[in-house]
């Protein structure tokens, strides 16, 4: 029988919904995957967003922004993640060291988000910013009322890339035993020559990535302020969705 | 009154944009800085609202050195209109105009009421209020820019080549509008252009600038035309090419009492009425000047 179908059958087998002595249940693996991703993302945001906005607004430390953009553009290749995971293998395989694993995810998550925040601000028309300053906006007002709204599409695009980056890396990290994630099914399936389980793991990861990316794509459309979406000039009364449809940015990340 | 006192600006890259510039800009008049590209006009203008700080010298507004005024506070009290309108693309026309008022915490209702009035003032239909800048023509955008510049009811309005990017017909309209605003609202306008005709049209006081914002000549348009201070000025205002020296065309007969005037190059430059063969005379009076293409406004005042 087709392996893919077997994978789906494996997923829908009620026996795989609970964690037993012999195997992890899908909900537990999913929860762990989400917690790892979520916690890593939170820390990533706290570090990358202020830094990216600072660089984008002041133009200071632009080199960091440029390096981040280039690094994140290199990310889609699985090879880079693989090398990274190998480097961090000692950390991933330490059963107790949850925090260290998260550090690794954060390091991979920061560049795309930092690059997004930086390039989002960098892309705002200099004359618009100059005018905002000339009419008496404070630097903070310029940032929050002009630069962030106008750069929002790229900022969220960076967040999208970071999210996928981390989801993918969490999966691969399980190759080394820990931490628990949907990737665990792939690892276990491989180890036990249980191919339906392995395929099931792959399907679950892909589904998770697609769903989250889809949700973020919707968010990305809605953060684009009216008046700036491409081709608004004569489409004043077009329905919001229709106008924005042509305007969704694709994230740099295409892996997983 | 704005006073430049030995002001110099040396940019970080070594460009001497402004070199020891001193001038008094009288209140409630239009002063025009005119000169070729790169002579320092924009730099001068932006020093008035501290978008650029001078390297040396001082700028005083009503006797107060602006170096002691907090830039954000200063800018909120000075209108600024730039060439490409500089509107916020993500805000509607009405919000763009009201933005300046929101910054100073004017209540919403009041701010919008004032913004709507300003649209009338600059001759924009209120039906455009909810549009985004990207949905306006260049000329309309400039009007919104002017309305925004006027929003906080500033005494001083800085205009940096505001009509440089609109077509000649719209420009003439906007120039007339600017003169009307100046008359009605009594603002101190500092206007930058590289178009000498625009400078003569709008300026009560005109400063012709050379590189480094060196003043080649300062005076009313009439003074400058009557007495160009140097070859540079003569060349800049076109006097050397005879563009300003008009003679009566002996060949063409215009209708009625009009005679056609030609410049030294032989090109038609205008008409003058000559009832009974005697050329009409008048006296220069800048305040009454109007070039609107609307006949109802021609020759008013
Ligand atoms: N931020 C800056 N850094 C370095 N040099 C500058 C800067 N801004 C202007 N300059 C230089 O200073 C000189 C005067 O510039 P400015 O913009 O004041 O000229 P301008 O008369 O307004 O010209 P234009 O008619 O082209 O607008 C130019 O040589 C310009 O290259
Ligand atoms: Mg200029």
Contact B80, B149 (CB under 8 A): yes
Contacts of A96 (CB under 8 A, 6+ apart): none
Please work out whether the CB of residue B43 comes within 6 Å of at least one atom of ligand 1. Answer: yes
Question: Do residues A211 and A33 make contact, with C-beta atoms less than 8 angstroms apart?
Answer: no
Q: Are B29 and B204 in contact (CB under 8 A)?
A: yes
The residue of chain A with its CA nearest to that of B150 is A135
Domain ranges, ordered by start, for chain B:
2-236, 245-277
DSSP conformation class of A21: S
Q: Is the CB of B50 under 6 A from ligand 1?
A: no
Chain B contacts of A226, Cβ < 8 Å?
A: 90, 132
Given this model, what pLDDT does residue B238 score?
Answer: 85
The tokens describing A248, both together, are 């969704």
Q: How far is the CA of B136 from the centre of ligand 2 (A)?
A: 24
Mean pLDDT of B166-182: 88
Read off the pLDDT of residues B61-105 as tens digits, 9 standing for 90 and up: 999 999 999 999 999 999 999 988 899 999 999 999 999 999 999
Q: How far is B135 from A237, CA to CA, in rounded Å? A: 11
Question: What is residue A251's predicted lDDT score, i.e. its pLDDT?
Answer: 37
Q: Let me know: does B4 contact B44? Beta carbons within 8 Å.
A: yes
B15 lines ligand 1 (CB under 6 A): yes
Among B73, B86, B104, select the one facing A131 at the smallest CB separation: B86
Tokens 């945001």, residue located: A45
* pLDDT band at residue A246 under the 50/70/90 scheme: very low
What is the C-alpha to C-alpha distance for residues B133 and B130, in angstroms, rounded to an integer? Answer: 10
* pLDDT at residue B299 tops 50: no
Q: Do A137 and B86 touch (CB under 8 A)?
A: no
Q: Is the distance from CB of B49 to CB of A133 less than 8 angstroms?
A: no
Write the DSSP string, B49-86: TTSS--SEEEEEETTEEGGGS-HHHHHHTEEEEETT--
Q: Cβ separation of B89 and A236 shorter than 8 Å?
A: no
> What's the B82 CA to ligand 2 centre distance in angstroms?
9
B135 touches chain A (CB under 8 A): yes
> Rounded CA gap, B236 and B24, in Å?
23
Window 51-80 of B: residues touching A by CB (8 A cutoff) are: 51, 72-73, 75-77, 80
pLDDT digits over B229-249, tens only? 999 999 999 877 677 778 888
Average pLDDT over residues B181-198: 92
Cα-based torsion angle of the residue sequence B249, B253, B255, B261 in order, rounded to the nearest 10 degrees: 0
Contact A233 B80 (CB under 8 A): no
| ipTM associated with this complex | 0.83
Q: Which of B150, B235, B205 is nearest to B32 (CA)?
A: B205
pLDDT at position B94: 97
Mean pLDDT of A77-98: 63
Instruction: Give the total residue count for chain B.
Output: 301
What average pLDDT score do residues B260-285 get?
Answer: 79
Top mutation candidate among B7, B9, B14, B42 for ligand 1, by most atoms within 8 Å of CB: B42
Nearest CA-CA partner of A51 in A63, A35, A34, A38:
A63
Rounded to the nearest angstrom, the distance between the alpha carbon of A71 and the centre of ligand 1 is: 36
* Inter-chain touch B51–A228, beta carbons under 8 Å: no
Angle at A115 between CA A113 and CA A118, to 5 degrees: 105
Instruction: Work out whether the CA dihedral B203, B209, B213, B216 comes out positive or negative.
Output: negative
Question: For the ranges A57-71, A148-162, A222-236, B48-62, which has the lowest average pLDDT?
Answer: A222-236
Contacts of A150 in chain B (CB under 8 A): 89-90
- How far is residue A135's CA from residue A137's CA, in Å, rounded to a whole number? 6
pLDDT at B268: 83
> Which residues of chain A neighbour B104 with C-beta distances below 8 Å?
136
Q: Which ligand is nearest to the CA of B213?
A: 1
- Of the candidates B8, B155, B138, B142, the one whose C-alpha atom is nearest the C-alpha of residue B79 is B155
Question: What residue owns the CA closest to ligand 1's atom 26?
Answer: B37
Q: Quick check: B264 pLDDT over 50?
A: yes
Q: Which residues pair with A22 in a beta bridge?
A: none
Please list the residues that pair with B188 across neighbouring strands. Answer: B156
Output A190-199 pairs: Cβ under 8 A, ≥24 positions apart. Answer: A195/A3, A195/A6, A196/A3, A196/A6, A196/A7, A196/A9, A196/A10, A197/A10, A198/A7, A199/A3, A199/A4, A199/A6, A199/A7, A199/A10
**Does position A90 have pLDDT exceeding 80, yes or no?**
no
Q: Would you say residue B141 has pLDDT above 60?
A: yes
Mutate which of B38, B159, B194, B216 for ligand 1 pocket (most atoms within 8 A of beta carbon): B38
Separation CA B129–CA B110 (nearest Å): 16
pLDDT, one tens digit per residue, over A170-212 is 888 777 656 789 999 998 898 899 999 999 999 999 999 999 9
pLDDT at B9 over 50: yes
- Which of B159, B134, B138, B164 has the alpha carbon at shortest distance from B148? B159
Closest ligand 1 atom to the C-alpha of B39? Answer: 21
CATH superfamily of A2-9+25-225: MetI-like (1.10.3720.10)
What's chain A's average pLDDT?
Answer: 82
Based on DSSP, count helices (H) and strands (E) in chain A, helices before strands: 12, 0
Distance CA B118, CA B103 (A): 17
Q: Which phi and psi (to 5°) does residue A89 adopt?
A: -50, -45
B102 touches chain A (CB under 8 A): no
**What pLDDT is attached to residue B296?**
36
Compute CA distances A82 → A74, A173, A254, whole Å.
Answer: 13, 9, 16
Q: What are the tokens at B83?
A: 């060439």
Q: Tell me what the mean pLDDT of segment A2-27 comes to.
A: 88
Which CATH fold topology does B2-236 show? Rossmann fold (3.40.50)
DSSP string, B226-284: H--SSHHHHHHTTTTTTSS--EEEEEEE-STTEEEEE-TTS-EEEEEE-GGG-------
Strands B64-65, B56-61: parallel, antiparallel or unpaired by DSSP? antiparallel
Residue with the two structure tokens 């990533």: A44
């Amino acid at each position: 029988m087709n392996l893919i179908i077997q994978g789906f059958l494996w997923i829908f087998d009620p026996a795989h919904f609970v964690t037993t002595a012999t195997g992890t249940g899908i909900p537990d693996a999913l929860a762990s995957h989400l917690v790892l991703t979520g916690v890593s993302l939170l820390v990533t945001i706290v570090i990358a967003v202020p830094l990216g906005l600072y660089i984008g607004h002041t133009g200071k430390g632009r080199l960091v922004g440029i390096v981040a953009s280039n690094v994140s553009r290199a990310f889609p290749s699985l090879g880079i993640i693989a090398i990274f995971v190998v480097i961090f293998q000692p950390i991933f395989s330490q059963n107790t060291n949850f925090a260290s694993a998260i550090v690794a995810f954060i390091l991979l998550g920061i560049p795309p988000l930092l690059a997004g925040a930086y390039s989002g601000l960098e892309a705002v028309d200099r004359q618009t910013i100059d005018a905002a300053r000339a009419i008496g906006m404070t630097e903070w007002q310029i940032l929050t009322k002009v630069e962030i709204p106008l750069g929002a599409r790229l900022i969220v695009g960076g967040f999208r890339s970071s999210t996928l980056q981390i989801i993918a890396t969490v999966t691969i990290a399980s190759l080394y035993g820990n931490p628990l994630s949907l990737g665990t099914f792939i690892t276990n399936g491989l180890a036990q020559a249980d191919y339906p389980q392995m395929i099931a793991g792959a399907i679950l990861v892909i589904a998770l990535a697609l769903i989250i990316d889809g949700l973020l794509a919707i968010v990305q459309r809605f953060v684009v302020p009216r008046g700036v979406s491409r081709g608004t000039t004569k489409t004043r009364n077009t329905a919001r969705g229709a106008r924005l449809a042509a305007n969704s940015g694709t994230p740099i990340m295409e892996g997983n | 009154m704005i006073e430049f006192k030995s002001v110099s600006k040396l940019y970080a890259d070594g460009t001497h944009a402004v070199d020891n510039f001193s001038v008094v800009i009288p209140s409630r008049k239009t002063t025009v800085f005119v000169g070729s590209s790169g002579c320092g006009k924009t730099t001068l203008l932006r020093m008035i609202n501290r978008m650029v700080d001078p390297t040396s010298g001082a700028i005083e507004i009503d006797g107060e050195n602006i170096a002691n005024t907090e830039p954000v506070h200063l800018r909120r009290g000075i209108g600024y209109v730039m060439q490409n309108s500089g509107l916020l693309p993500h805000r509607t026309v009405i919000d763009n105009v009201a933005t300046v008022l929101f910054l100073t915490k004017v209540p919403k209702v009041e701010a919008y009421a004032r913004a709507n009035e300003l649209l009338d003032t600059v001759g924009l239909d209120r039906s455009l209020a909810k549009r985004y800048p990207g949905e306006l023509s260049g000329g309309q955008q400039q009007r919104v820019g002017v309305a925004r510049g006027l929003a906080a009811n500033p005494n001083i309005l800085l205009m940096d080549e505001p009509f440089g990017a609109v077509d000649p017909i719209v420009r003439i309209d906007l120039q007339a509008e600017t003169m009307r605003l100046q008359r009605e609202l009594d603002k101190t306008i500092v206007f930058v252009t590289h178009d000498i005709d625009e400078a003569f049209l709008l300026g009560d006081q005109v400063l012709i600038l050379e590189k480094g914002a060196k003043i080649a000549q300062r005076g009313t348009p009439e003074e400058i035309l009557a007495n160009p201070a140097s070859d540079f000025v003569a060349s800049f205002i076109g006097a050397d090419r005879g563009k300003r020296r008009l003679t009566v065309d002996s060949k063409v007969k215009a209708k009625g009492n009009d005679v056609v005037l030609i410049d030294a190059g032989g090109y038609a430059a205008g008409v003058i009425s000559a009832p009974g063969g005697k050329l009409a005379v008048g006296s220069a009076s800048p305040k009454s000047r109007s070039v609107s293409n609307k006949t109802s406004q021609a020759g008013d005042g």
